[in-house]
Structure 1
Amino acid sequence: MLASGCPALVFLLPAAAVGLGSAVMLAGVAVYRIQSRRHL
């Protein structure tokens, strides 16, 4: 299981990092838009 699990982790970890990064970026853009609407 370890031999087949390590390559899976190698591919899943970067994919998860990219997914989290994009989610955080989208959340930041949404918060920025909400704040800009409040100021306007």
Structure 2
Amino acid sequence: MIVIVEVIIFNVLLILKVRGVVLIIFICLMRNYFQTDNRNN
């Protein structure tokens, strides 16, 4: 029972880490996109 709980917690943390990395990459891409737009304008 304890092992199952640990696996669930590990999976949740892994999913949160993946989402965090994707979110950070998305924000960086959006910042670069807006910066290039401002430079072109």
Using the size of structure 1 for normalisation, the TM-score is 0.81
Give the equivalent residue in structure 2 for 1:30: 30
Q: What is the RMSD computed on CA atoms of the aligned residues? A: 1.4
Instruction: Give distance in 2, aligned partners of 1:6 and 1:18.
Output: 18
How many residues matched? 39
Instruction: Give distance in 1, aligned partners of 2:39 and 2:28.
Output: 16
Using the size of structure 2 for normalisation, the TM-score is 0.80
Give unmatched runs, 5+ long, in structure 2. none
Cα deviation, 1:1-40, whole Å, max 9, x if unaligned, reads: 7x14311111111111000000010011001000000011
